Amino acid sequence: MPRPALYSSSRNARRPALDAAAPIAAPTAEASADASPTASAATLPGATSISRRHLRTLWSVVLLLTVLLGTSLWLHQRPPDRKITQEDIDAAVLRTLETTTLPSAAARAVDAIAPSVVRVVGYGRSKNGKEEVERGVGTGVVIVDKGIILTNLHVVLGSDRIAITFHDGLETTANITGAQPENDLAVLQAHKVPDDLEAAPMRSTQDLRSGDQVVAVGFPFGIGPSASAGVVSGLKREFTSPEGKRQLSNLIQFDAAANPGNSGGPLVTMDGEVVGIVTAILNPTPARTFIGIGFAVPIENAASAVGMPPF
């Protein structure tokens, strides 16, 4: 009895093995007639998977090339980096100046001196001696952060009690520790001071000139702190009070508005430095209002009143 044929192991090992026990059916004539080389290839095991794998690989290559091409174009179109030049900096500063409103020189001067300006009120007794009444309102400026204050002597002279109000609202009393009648100056010591009290910066009048801008800061008619701006009108001026009781010399003349209550306040440069203590206004009428001429004691004289060395 003939034995069935066996496939040799030397054939292509990747070809699927046939079941040795299954009979090999001969192709029918109808199947042979319908089968074409293309159809046969499409129905081979693995033919579909090979085509899809090749298709995925092809699309991956196309995608990679597209990314590389896009990156190359972007790098070529990107503007090259450059260093920042002085022209760039100047242009940026100019744009900032054009679009930003800066404070005026006078406003900066007031901000610099404001923490050192105080309100000074002298109190006395009424005629019947039973009530405390306000005798005078003026201004003072802190020149030592321990609470040493300069003001005009005529503001506090004859007062039974002197009240001080600091920039932060702290109210306290003070006593007179020194006086310089020839310059109408008084030195006060506050009994309490703010923790962050600032002394005013001072500047010599040696290089002060007519026409220099100045600001007068104080409490005119008790209102304030108030500021008025003007210029130095002259130097080494003399002033005699309307009553003839006071004669002052070596004064700074200025035209920044000053009124009763400004007495004792600082005359300040645009750098925020004190060059004088406002002491008088010239007014030939009984109205006691400002007509454009004010006087200040140079800060050198004022500093000597408290024993501070000259500049």
Residues in CB range of 157: below 8 A, 6 or more apart: 122, 186
Residue 289 and residue 283 in contact, taking contact as beta carbons nearer than 8 Å: yes
**Which two structure tokens, joined as six digits, stand for 134?**
């306000």
Active site residue 32: no
Residue 256 and residue 294 in contact, taking contact as beta carbons nearer than 8 Å: yes
Residue 211 and residue 199 in contact, taking contact as beta carbons nearer than 8 Å: no
Which one from 159, 167, 184, 255 is the annotated catalytic residue? 184
Active site residue 154: yes
Which one from 154, 159, 228, 255 is the annotated catalytic residue? 154
Which one from 116, 159, 226, 263 is the annotated catalytic residue? 263
Active site residue 196: no
Provide the annotated active-site residues. 154, 184, 263
